[in-house]
Structure 1
Amino acid sequence: MDYSKHQFIPYGRQSIDEKDIQAVVDVLKSDYLTTGPAVDNFEKKIADYVGTKYAVAFSNGTAALHGACFAAGIGEGDEVITTPMTFAASANCILYQGGKAVFADIDPETYNINPDEIRKKITAKTKAIIPVDFTGQPVNLDEVMDIAKEHNLLVIEDAAHAIGATYKDSKVGSIADMTMFSFHPVKHITTGEGGIITTNNKDLYDKLQQFRTHGITRDTSLLNENHGPWYYEMQFLGYNYRMTDIQAALGSSQLDKLDGFVERRRNIIDQYNIGFSNLNEVITPYQHSDGNSSWHLYVIQVKKDLLSINRKQFFEELKKANIGVNVHYIPVHLQPYYQELGYKKGDYPVSEELYEQIISLPLFPTMTDDDVRYVINTVKCLVQEHQIK
């Protein structure tokens, strides 16, 4: 295949403008670089955006998930159900608290955790569910919340991919007991690194705040003693998971543009779906009729039985064409560390079958229509060149 000299297109990247830069500069010129008013402002803006009472910012999304597991009371021997088709952090946060990650396989259409499989995994040791909004597509929250209520479980929604998404008439972030958003540069908005938990539960909010600050409190109503206005107490083993004001200022500026970013992502998705509509060799992602996904990723399946090249070769050909494809994700239970814990290949066949065929195509707001057409045409050319006649 003779590729044109098209500029490299990454699978995702941040979109930073002069207002974002100025917001960071303003903090750098201020009295507070960390633990100051910019963090409080960012938390309030996120809570207002999703429609919750509280939001607690963390240094990254993984730290936020760890905090949520602590606040949920996950401890030694407790079981938490999550999906294998996710980044490792969704399961690692359970292990950090001494709990056991119990995987439930996915729905082959949506790629999200299958509620029927969740039901099969519940035991007397189950303490919580961590569903993941894979690619920005919200999980079946009605059913997940019903299961949780039936068994007295907490739901920690991993919405790292889904800020700006809606579930029916509600914003993702306002439904689960706790919801985590990530602000890594490839996500919808960025703080460089960063994460946040939203919740309507005051008790969970208080625990999250104290956990991210070494387990320390200055709240006089919680102190065992009070030596004076300087006094604080470390009441449990917490962590330094605080977000800086520099990060928060960038996040606040980015949040002002979120709806526009999501709109552009949906426009690119429409172009992809139309472009691939007549390719039998490619399966495009599931799409809710009300368009509620915020589309962090565009994941196609390459049907290996209809092509003379495998997924790895297809991937490599796209890379040669300067298209920065990726694969999301290697199922967590296939990672060597989890294999050592006793998980094994064959445990979650739907996730494993999906993994063998998926490729993530570029998707970010500053992609041009020319970039999108180039990706579509390159995929089409590859399919035509290698289709089994």
Structure 2
Amino acid sequence: MTWNIPLFKMYYDDDDIDSVSTALRSGMNWAVGPNVIDFEAGIADYIGSKYCLTFNSGTSALHTALIAHGIGTGDEVIVPSFTFIATANAPLFVGAKPVFADIEESTLGLSPNSVLEQITQKTKAIIPVHYGGCPCQIRELREIADDHNLVLIEDAAEAFGASINGTMVGTYGYSAMLSFCQNKVITTGEGGALVTDDRDLYEQAKLIRSHGRLETADYFSSYQSMDYVTLGYNFRLSNITAALGLAQLRKADAIISMRKAIAELYTTLLQKKVPEVSVMSPPDGYTHVHQLFSVRASDRDGLMKYLADQGIMSKIYFDPVHLTHHYRSMPGYEVSLPVTERVAGDILSLAIYPGMPEEEVMCVVDSIAEYYAVK
């Protein structure tokens, strides 16, 4: 379907095109190369972590993090159900069991109290999600992880550039996953990264990312033989893709500023015109980067259909993972998550993207107001 107002658009400029063109015209290093190294260094510097590794997706980065942290068969990993399904599936990739905890309503992230209730002797890790670009209660979750000797892996797929009192999301956990999929804050089309301050974890993740190969030089341009010291995967990000990532990173602050401005306009207009819709208000000190602009709406499904009829896209982020066919068909996943199910019942993500015209924002809000006026 062609939308009059799509849910998102990628933001790009001549710098993106020139960067990718330069990488292509080099005629070399299309798989691995200097752009990958520079992109990783740039991400680490931006986030404030010591190490960064890029991957072909955020899912691959999260999979690798679990292996590198030693999570495996018989272990339990506490995750939210209010997330993209990759967060919950990643423990299954390594033979562990995802255990669902409920969320809280101020940030729509994992509830520390619910997490405490799910900890058992088998629990080895917690994977909180920073929903839609808003930091979750990550400081409280880090304290729980430390108190119970658990690994804390941040799923920061949607929250590149988000922070709490100036400290970046991605630096609270022992490691963190970032995503650069097409609808994220900065994008490489597909792609992801793992950031950490742990040198040993970083070195282990490097092996896992590239077939377990102990790389003493650039594999594609060196005549040296290289040993394979563990089981690994082909999870690399290409040098061409990293060229796009570098260009995106150079304007990350500008992109985030545009997202914030659009979110502020939405908030002002919705609060003025549509009492049936409530807007998230992050806690003090929390910097929201608005990868999503999600609202809570009465008669959400009716509103979504009405907007679609006007050519305006909206989307439910997220339906609960524990209610998908995949998890309902597995024993042990008949769980009660009342806050997750309540939020998922009225959440709706509206169109937002850098450069979105003010007229489009007003059109979305006016259409929402019209729906409730005639309902």
- Which bracket does the TM-score occupy, shorter chain normalised? over 0.9
CA–CA distance in structure 1, aligned partners of residues 301 and 295 of structure 2: 14
Q: Is the 8 A contact 2:52 2:196 kept in 1?
A: yes
Q: Which amino acid aligns with 1:14?
A: M
CA contact (8 A) 2:9 2:353 kept: yes
Aligned partners of 2:364 and 2:113: how far apart in 1? 37
Aligned residues: 368
How does 1:44-123 map onto structure 2 within 5 Å?
44-123=41-120
Deviations 1:287-333 (A, max 9, x none): 23335011111111112xxxxxx322211110111111111011111
User: Which residue is 2:276 aligned to?
Assistant: 281
Cα deviation, 1:319-353, whole Å, max 9, x if unaligned, reads 11111111101111111111122355662111111
- Asked whether 1:355 is paired with 2:344, we answer yes
2:224 maps to what in 1? Answer: 230
Identical counterparts, % of pairs: 37
Aligned residue in 2 for 1:223: none
2:16 corresponds to 1:20:
yes
Provide TM-score, normalisation by structure 1.
0.91
Residue pair 1:346, 1:352 contacting (<8 A) in 2 also: no
| Displaced runs of 4 or more, over 6 A | none
Closer, same or farther: CA 7–370 of 1 in aligned 2, 3 Å: farther
Provide Cα deviations, 1:220-241, integer angstroms capped at 9, x if missing partner: 9xxxxxxx97232222221000
2:36 alignment partner, one of 15, 21, 39 = 39
* Displacement after TM superposition at 1:134 (Å): 0.4
1:216 match: secondary structure: coil
Tell me, in whole angstroms, the C-alpha distance in 2 between the residues paired with 1:192 and 1:102. 30
TM-score by length of 2: 0.95
Cα pair 1:56 1:197 within 8 Å, conserved: yes
In structure 1, the residue matched to 2:325 is 336
**Counterpart Cα distance in 1 of 2:335 and 2:113:** 18
Residue identity opposite 1:296 in structure 2: Q
Aligned to 2:185: 188
Name the CA distance, whole Å, in 1 between partners of 2:368 and 2:334.
30
**Partners of 1:377 and 1:289 in 2: CA distance:** 29
Equivalent-residue separation in structure 1 for 2:55 and 2:259 (angstroms):
26
**Alpha-carbon distance in structure 2 between the residues aligned to 1:61 and 1:282:** 32
State the 1:139 CA deviation. Answer: 1.2
Task: Write the distance in 1 (CA, Å) between the matches of 2:329 and 2:53.
Answer: 34
SS in structure 2 at match of 1:44? helix
Unaligned stretches of 5+ in structure 1? 1-5, 221-227, 304-309
Out of 122, 125, 128, the position equivalent to 2:122 is 125
Deviates more, 1:285-294 or 1:352-361: 285-294
The 1:343–1:360 alpha-carbon spacing in structure 2 relative to 1, beyond 3 Å, is: farther
